[in-house]
Amino acid sequence: MAYVIIATCFGISGGIVGKYKGSSFWLWFLISGAVPFLGLFAAIAYRFDRDELRRQCPQCGRVVKLYDALCTRCGAELDFPDVAIAPESWERVPALSSSKVAPPS
């Protein structure tokens, strides 16, 4: 009975960490619940999907992660682009004001 409680607590914490990093809550819940300590450590060590560079598919225009070899919408094979699109996490930062400020004298 104690193992079930511990596995459930680790499963919930692993699911929350996985969801925070942009992955599936239920996937990390199952991994962390099945192997409590290692599953939670794997969820913590997992990369942030929001921090990955992106690119645009030349055929359908869908924006996909830079490491994707195939477009998830049309199935086109993607070559490595010359220019990458900024990660999703960078878009949340408010842009600086475009007004000109005089330098201090």
pLDDT in tens, 6-47: 999 999 999 999 888 878 899 999 999 999 889 888 888 887
Residues in the chain, total = 105
Nearest to 56 by CA among 43, 71, 39: 71
Q: What's the rounded Cα separation, in Å, for the pair 36 and 75? A: 37
| Total-model pTM | 0.52
Residue 77, φ and ψ in degrees, nearest 5? -75, 130
Domain range annotation of the chain:
2-46, 49-92
CA dist 31 and 12 (Å) reads: 10
Report the distance separating Cα 40 and Cα 33, nearest Å: 8
